[in-house]
Amino acid sequence: MAGVRLTKKDDGILVLSIDRPEALNALNRGIVDEIDEKIDEIEKDSGARCLILHSDKNFAAGADIKAMAECDEEGAKAFAFSPTYNRLAALRIPTVSAIEGYALGGGMELALATDIRIAGEGAKMGFPEVSLGIFPGAGGTIRAPRLIGAAFAKELIFSGEAVTAERALQMGLVNRVVPDDRVFAEAYRLAGKIARRGPVAVRRAKEVIDRGTAMNVESGIELEAAEWAKLFNTRDQKEGMQAFIAKRKPEFENR
């Protein structure tokens, strides 16, 4: 049966997977509500250090067109995925999308709500919505231009054309491209690296980057300086620096 799985791995790494292969993991209300429930669990998990989004074969081929086809304006509003995607984007821990196969429309927007994207060589990404008489409605017109610039975002959104992983890399839509059978392994390797760093420092860095990009440079630098100094109140700062001086590995306590 279609559904969403949340799996706990070593080192506080969590993996969120959509399991609806018969529709190339297209997202309907039920799937998005399940993602929302899993986000509740992730928020409560004090041992969580990094979240990977990964589904077998296809990341997600968009919102479910069959479920949306007969919607009127009110129905379309009820279909909205943005509240859930915004919660995903606001998670305090880093998030990584591991993209195999298709990441289209609402599927691409799901990946855009994460911090980092790793794609397989055969991945196809884009916003086909204009072929359906709509435009991306779950953050695509807002997050894509901020990530890759308005010109590339407009090219993708106006043409509806899916791009290869290599082209997505050139645009900055993904961070790196690896062989298809290495996508999860590479995401897991990166998540492991993140998970072993000072967790308070990583969380606060995410917060400063996300808040800071919405500010002017001066205010952002002020925020950075204040948050940076606060880290010297943490046990992990003492441990990290003492471990360096003693030439040993730090043992962070997340406080």
Q: Is 130 in the site for ligand CO8 (CB under 6 A)?
A: no
Give CA–CA dist 167/149, Å, rounded. 15
13 or 123, CB closer to ligand CO8?
123
**38, 16 contact by CB (below 8 A):** yes
Q: In the bound complex, what is the minimum distance in angstroms from residue 140's beta carbon to ligand CO8?
A: 7
Site for ligand CO8 in 53-82 (CB under 6 A): 61-66, 79-81
Pick the catalytic residue from 41, 73, 74, 109. 109
Contacting residue, 2, 6, 130, 132, with ligand CO8 by CB under 6 A: 132
- DSSP conformation letters of 47-64: T--EEEEE-SS-SB--B-
Q: Is 139 in the site for ligand CO8 (CB under 6 A)?
A: no
- DSSP conformation letters of 115-142: SEEEEETT-EEE-GGGGGT----SSHHH
First to last CA, the chain: 41
129 classed as catalytic:
yes
Give CA–CA dist 144/111, Å, rounded. 10
Contacting residue, 55, 100, 102, 168, with ligand CO8 by CB under 6 A: 102
Residue tagged 């055969």 (tokens): 122
Q: Which stretch binds ligand CO8 (CB under 6 A): 98-106, 197-205, 206-214, 235-243?
A: 98-106
Q: In the bound complex, what is the minimum distance in angstroms from residue 80's beta carbon to ligand CO8?
A: 4
Phi first, then psi: what are they for 247, rounded to 5°?
55, 45
Site string for ligand CO8, 6-45 (x = CB under 6 A): -----------------xx-x-------------------
138 or 157, CB closer to ligand CO8?
138
Q: Is 137 in the site for ligand CO8 (CB under 6 A)?
A: yes
Contacting residue, 31, 91, 138, 168, with ligand CO8 by CB under 6 A: 138
Give CA–CA dist 232/225, Å, rounded. 12
Pick the catalytic residue from 34, 37, 43, 129. 129
Contacting residue, 99, 104, 174, 208, with ligand CO8 by CB under 6 A: 104
Phi first, then psi: what are they for 231, rounded to 5°?
-65, -20
Max Cα separation, the chain? 66
**104, 60 contact by CB (below 8 A):** yes
- Residues forming contacts to ligand CO8 in the complex (CB under 6 A) are 23-24, 26, 61-66, 79-81, 102, 104-106, 128-129, 132, 136-138
Query: Catalytic residue positions?
Result: 109, 129
